[in-house]
A and B are shown apart, each in its own frame.
Chain A
Amino acid sequence: MNDVSIFQLIISASLPVQLVMLILLGASIFSWALMYVKWGYIRQSQAEAKNFEGRFWSGINLSDLFAQLSVRQERRFGLEAIFENGFREFARSRKADLDNSEVVRSAHRAMKVSMSREIELLETNLPFLATVGSVSPYVGLFGTVWGIMESFRALAGVQQATLAMVAPGISEALIATAMGLFAAIPAVVAYNKFTSEIDAMIIRYENFLEEFTGILQRQAHSPR
């Protein structure tokens, strides 16, 4: 009794409180893992965009760039994917002898589709982080309220109540809140950081798309 360790408290907690703690622990573990994955993906996208923009504006022939990309076996993503889809569509519709403005428009459309796919890839699983960030304090609070309720209920039949009888119960219940906050804080921070970075990436993609459309328009009007 005199050595009250957290471990003992958790083990001796009532079943709902233990369940809440388990859920929170799981949420925390998953959110951290997700953060790691997401962080890696965003870093990779940023590096790719920088690299591709460098290549694109280096003055290389667009057909050569396209050939280089299509030779590569691995999956293309980010700006590369947008460029590839747009240019392929442009070449195809030119072969089909469409009107100049129609050619540019179809290429633009293809790039838009590609871009929205990329954005979706960037944004997947972000809602999980947001949910963990906003809900887990409530879950923890629920565990705490339940635990305190239990400990007061146990007090009802006793003639002389002492602080020592309630204290372990409340302490045990408060662990749930602590765990909820522990899960929520990193999730919220990560969510905010990721959304701002993804927004920046989207703007980057959009800018590239418009610029590339301009270039295609110029090419479409030049003689074939």
Chain B
Amino acid sequence: MFEELLKHPKALLISVLAHVVIIAAIVINLSFTDKTDMTKVGEVTKTIKAKVIDQNQLDQKKQQKELETKRKKAVELKEKQTQEAKKLEQKKKIDAQKKRKAEEKRKAELKHKKEAEQKRKKEKARADEKRKAEEKQKADQKRVAEAKHKAEQALVAEQNRQAEEKRKAEEVRIALEKRKLEDAKRKEDELKRKEDERKRAEAEQRRLAAEEQKRKEVELKARLEAEQNQRRLDSLRERYKLAISQKIDRSWIKPSGNDETPPCEVNVVQGPGGIILKVTFGTCNGSTAIYRASIEKAVYRAEPLPKPGDPALFERNLKIRFKPE
């Protein structure tokens, strides 16, 4: 690293210069911003002047003040006493006057009362006379009014009775009409209900019929489809079997010698992917061991066995009829 830097002294110089500039900038900037205003502490602006005071002088002043206050208090007490005496006298005068006035007032009231009594007695006699006359008149009037009232009551009762009868008749009539109307309505409702029921039953029947038809169609379709599928599977199975037996045939090498080669039934167990797990022989009349071994070899050579066109057709246990041409 250092050799490289020594090779480029210019780079080092530039770097040092840049640092010097940056540091200078920082220092200058900080010294500018750092100057804060210091508040001046310790300047005393006001002085308090002190005085020397003698204790004796203070005591004398205090005694003088006390004497003066005592004197003042005595003068005040005297004045108060004289004022109170004056007040008492005045009060006595006022009381005497009040008593006199009250006596006079009582006398005047007595006189006034007597006069009032006489006046009241007179008025009472007059009122009695008047009351009696009024009572008589009132009794007359009452009698006449009672008679009138009775007649009116009778009339009203009669009218009420008639109205009641009329009302009852009307009520009966209305009830009858109402019942008639109700009957008619009930009948109509019944009819309507029956009609509705009939309609509903018809609709139900129609719906059932449609459903039946639909179901039949679906069934037919499904059957057709199934048949078709079956056919397809059948043909695929045929092809599968054919492919397997052909592959085995192709793999077969005729053993040497003039041994007989009769048709043979071979049972093959295959695993997934056409791997052969086991080969056994069924009916295989008149065959020799060499012949059978050649067939077995052919089966193994045909491994893996061809795949079916449809995975559903895969058969684990195959029964193959081997027949050399």
List residues of chain A with CB under 8 Å of any chain B CB. 2-7, 25, 28-30, 32-34, 36-37, 40, 124-125, 128
Contacts and interface: CB of A to CB of B under 8 A. Distances in A.
B145 interface: no
B180 interface: no
A37 B34 contact: no
A34 B19 contact: no
Contacts of B96: none
Contact of B34 (A4, A30, A128): A4
A36 B15 contact: yes
A29 B30 contact: no
A102 to B, nearest CB: 39
A33 B17 CA distance: 10
Contacts of B12: 29-30, 33
A37 B8 contact: yes
Interface in B1-51: 1, 4-5, 8, 11-12, 14-16, 18-19, 26-27, 30-31, 34-35, 38
A155 B107 CA distance: 111
A33 B34 contact: no
Size band of the B side of the interface? 10 to 19
A5 B5 contact: no
A30 B5 contact: yes
B27 A32 contact: no
B19 A28 contact: yes
A77 B19 CA distance: 33
A29 B15 contact: yes
Nearest to A39: B11
Nearest to A127: B1
B30 A128 contact: no
Contacts of B8: 33, 36-37
B20 to A, nearest CB: 10
Nearest to A179: B23
Nearest to B31: A5
A121 to B, nearest CB: 10
Given A28-B19, A29-B16, A30-B15, A6 B30 contact: yes
Given A29-B15, A37-B4, 6 more contacts: A5-B30, A29-B12, A32-B15, A33-B5, A33-B8, A33-B14
A7 B27 contact: yes
Nearest to A36: B11
B11 A33 contact: yes
A36 B1 contact: no
A30 B19 CA distance: 11
Nearest to B22: A182
B245 to A, nearest CB: 53
By Cβ-Cβ distance, the 4 closest A-B pairs, closest first, are: A32-B15, A33-B15, A36-B11, A33-B11
25 contacts: A4-B34, A5-B27, A5-B31, A5-B34, A6-B27, A6-B30, A7-B27, A25-B19, A29-B12, A29-B19, A30-B5, A30-B15, A32-B14, A32-B18, A32-B19, A33-B8, A33-B14, A33-B15, A34-B5, A34-B11, A37-B4, A37-B5, A37-B8, A40-B11, A128-B1
Contacts of B1: 30, 34, 125, 128
A125 B18 CA distance: 21
A36 B27 contact: no
A134 B35 CA distance: 36
B26 A6 contact: yes
A37 B35 CA distance: 41
Most buried by B among A5, A7, A33, A40: A33
A29 B18 CA distance: 9
B34 to A, nearest CB: 7
A42 B205 CA distance: 95
Contact of A125 (B4, B15, B30, B38): B4
Contacts of B5: 30, 33-34, 37
Contacts of A29: 12, 15-16, 19
A13 to B, nearest CB: 15
Interface string B265-304: 0000000000000000000000000000000000000000
B167 to A, nearest CB: 110
A86 B69 CA distance: 134
Contacts of A34: 1, 4-5, 11
Contacts of A25: 19
B31 A37 contact: no
A32 B11 CA distance: 8
A2 B4 contact: no
